Each structure stands twice: as C-alpha cells, then as structure tokens.
Amino acid sequence: MIKQTFPVLGLSIFASMLGVGIVAPLLPLYAEKMGATGVWIGMIFAGFSISRAIVMPIAGKFSDRSGRKAFLSVGLLTYAVISLGYIWAGDPFELTLVRLIQGIAAGLVIPIAQAYVGDMSPEAEEGRWQGYFNAAFFGGFGFGPLMGGALTDHFGMSVAFYGMGSLNLVSFLMVLFFLPEATPVKKGTRSRPSFRKIGGSNIIKGLLGFRLAFSMGRGAFAGFLPLFAGLSLSLSATRIGILIAVNILVMALFQPLGGRISDRINRRFLVVAGGVANLAFLGLIPWCRNFWELLGICLLGSLGGSVSIPAASAMIVEEGRKFGMGSTMAIFGVAFSIGMAIGPIVGGVIVDTLDIRAVFYFGAFMGFLGTGLFLWYTRTTGTIHKQSNP
C-alpha cells in the first residue's frame, strides 16, 4: 500500500515545506520594516517553535485514536489560510500572532505525516521509507529560500507569501482527495497511547537526547553561520545562500540512501557515526578561512545528517509500533522544536558574552553530549538491525 500512497504524501510534504521555506529568508527583513526590535524578532521566530511544541503531543495522541488524515488536512488548510496573515499583519504583535498560528498548523502536519509513513512502512523497511520522507521534508525546505528570494526580487514580498499559501493549498487538496486513511501494516495488540509508557523506553530517551542536542546545534548553525560567513570571511549574500542551500539539499539528496543503509547496518552505530560527523562539522567551522573550506565543512555536516537522521527515524518507528505512532513521532518532533528554539537564543547570549566562533563550539559540545546520552541509554540494546526483504 505504501508504494501507492507515498507519492501523494511525499509530494504534499515537499510542497508544504517548500512554502514554509519561502518565508525563512524574508521574515527578519519583513519584521524590521514593521519596526520590530531584536527582542520582537526573537519572539517572532520563537513563537512558531513554541506553539508547534505544545500542539504536537496533543495531535499525535489523538491521531493514534481517531485517525491521521483529518489532522493532516486541517493543518495544511490552516497553513494555507494563515499565509495570508503575513500580508494582513501591520505590526510586530500581529506578526507574532500569525507565527503562533502557523506553529499550531505545523504541529498538525509534520509529526502526523511522519507517523502516517511509519504506519504503512513494512517491517525491516522503516529506514527506507523514513529516508524518502526526510528527503521530501528537507528538499522542500532547502529549495524554499531560493524560491522565496527569487519571487521577492522579481515580484515583491507579498507574492512570496501568496506563493506559500498556494503551495499549502495544493498540498491540502492532494491529501483531501487522493490520500486514504493510514492503516498500519501490522496492527498487533498495541496498548492505548501513553506518554508515561513512552518515557519509560530507554531507546526513546536516548533518541530524544540525541535529537534535542542535534537540533540545538543546527539551530545555532542556521542562526549564526550567515553572520560568521559575512563578517569574518567577507562572503557575499549569494555565497552564504549557497552554503545553506548545499548543506540542506545534499542532506536531502542522500536521505533515501541513508535509509536503505539503516535497514542493513546496525542503526545504533549509524546514529553515533552521524553524531560524530555532525559535532566535527560544527567544531571545524571557526577554523575555515574561505568559502571553499566552509563549503567542504558544510558537506561534512550533510553527510552526518544523511547517516544519523534516517537511522534515528527508523528506530522511532519501531518504538512507535509499541506505544502509538502518532504520540511517539510527536514527542520526537517536540525535541526538535525545543532544540531549534533554544539553540539560537543560547547562541545569541554566547555571541554577546564571548564571540561568534564560540557559538559553533557550543554546537559541537551539544553534539558530543547528545551522542553520549544516546550511547548511554541504548547501551544494553545491541541493536537495531534488521535485514530488509529483497
């Protein structure tokens, strides 16, 4: 069944994330034109992650009980409608409100869609299909900023916001008319969703520690690489954009391959290997002296994400079959949201008190800590390795 339904789901997620990515490079400039201070800009960015983190567990738990398609459809439709709110907003407060609502919509979309894929994934192919999902996710988000910049340069910022709304509307229609309700490949005798039971799993504890630390480092990277590249290396805006796009898009390109590898090789080893590559990537950024060195380091970061993310996602799918796929994916998503919110805030404090290079050392340390926590909590599993079917 997944081979027939995934193209619809994958195209929907790609289009939705393409729309989300469109607004990423525009928001700081848009907020500044409204007179937003640095504090307001921080609140505008944080509002999205905060509301998303609050909604994810609720939506995930209820989707385990009543089905996923309704939550996914409502989330995509809300995304499409609230995109017009960017044009309506006239001051920083209203823009923050729009971001809060958009975060709620995101809480209904990404973890539910990932749980949908987990429901349909055959056993021993969890990595493969999570790799495809991650490719759609990162691919859309990576191309979005390029599309947003082009639309703004040629037609104005309002057209970019209309574009975001249109893409999410298309995603909503695809899901509404072409996507059937998810049916797990193997239903088994699963207990009712319980966050207490989920929290008792050492595998989930290890994965959450890894995910939180990984996203904190990535949040710091996304927030301060442009500043480091522009001020310390005097790189142009175009080259900075290339660095960020390459880092995301190469990681997206290799997600399917990483997923297939995780179905054949010990997944615990792959998470650790990817974590080590990621902390090395962040720790080496301050040593770069030119564009080409920084490009090579960004490719190393892409490799780390290509190895660790599909393996970690596949492990979460296996745990989701025990505790409820939507609830488990939601908790995994909350860790990501919290990390992406905290990382830039802590990075800003570090920049103000030390210097910008220390931000990347902080990210590397968090990667080391997260990998260590994962190793500790999963030390008795010796896992997770299943040979995929031919």
Please name each of the domains of the chain with its CATH number.
Answer: 1-183 (1.20.1250.20), 193-390 (1.20.1250.20)
Q: How far is CA 159 from CA 44, 76, 238, in A?
A: 21, 19, 21
Longest dimension (CA), the chain: 59
Q: How far apart are CA 222 and CA 244, in angstroms?
A: 8
Q: How far is CA 188 from CA 81, 290, 352, 367, in A?
A: 39, 55, 53, 36
Q: Supply the DSSP symbol for 143.
A: H
Q: How far is CA 169 from CA 79, 195, 235, 257, 344, in A?
A: 8, 33, 37, 30, 31
Residue 287: pLDDT band with limits 50, 70, 90: very high
DSSP H helices in the chain: 2-23, 27-33, 38-66, 69-82, 85-88, 92-120, 126-155, 157-178, 195-199, 202-227, 237-253, 255-262, 267-284, 291-323, 325-353, 356-377
For 312-331, give one letter per residue: b (16+ CB within 10 A) or e.
bbbbbbbbbbbbbbbbbbbb
Read off the tokens for 240: 């900075």
Please report the pLDDT score of residue 276 as a whole number.
94
Q: How far apart are CA 243 and CA 54, in angstroms?
A: 32
By percentage, how much of the chain surpasses pLDDT 70? 91
Lowest mean pLDDT, pick from 125-129, 336-340, 373-377, 378-382? 378-382
Q: Mean of the per-residue pLDDT values for the chain?
A: 83
Q: How far apart are CA 332 and CA 163, in angstroms?
A: 29
Please report the pLDDT score of residue 388 as a whole number.
42
Residue range 252-263: average pLDDT? 91
Lowest mean pLDDT, pick from 200-214, 281-295, 321-335? 321-335
Does residue 185 surpass a pLDDT of 80? Answer: no
Residue 42: pLDDT band with limits 50, 70, 90: low
Higher pLDDT pick, 179 / 23? 179
Cβ atoms within 10 Å of 310's Cβ, excluding its own: 34
Please report the pLDDT score of residue 272 as a whole number.
94
Higher pLDDT pick, 332 / 385? 332
Higher pLDDT pick, 84 / 2? 84
Does residue 52 surpass a pLDDT of 60? Answer: yes
Please report the pLDDT score of residue 275 as a whole number.
93
Q: How far apart are CA 97 and CA 89, in angstroms?
A: 9
Q: How confident is the model over 134-178, as pLDDT tens digits?
A: 898 888 888 887 787 778 778 887 888 888 888 889 889 988 998
**Dihedral sign of CA atoms 250, 120, 198, 50 in order:** positive
Does residue 182 surpass a pLDDT of 80? Answer: no
For 98-114, give one letter per residue: b (16+ CB within 10 A) or e.
bbbbbbbbbbbbbbbbb
Does residue 104 surpass a pLDDT of 80? Answer: yes
Residue 195: pLDDT band with limits 50, 70, 90: low
The most confident of the ranges 30-39, 77-86, 135-144 is: 77-86
Residue 25: pLDDT band with limits 50, 70, 90: low
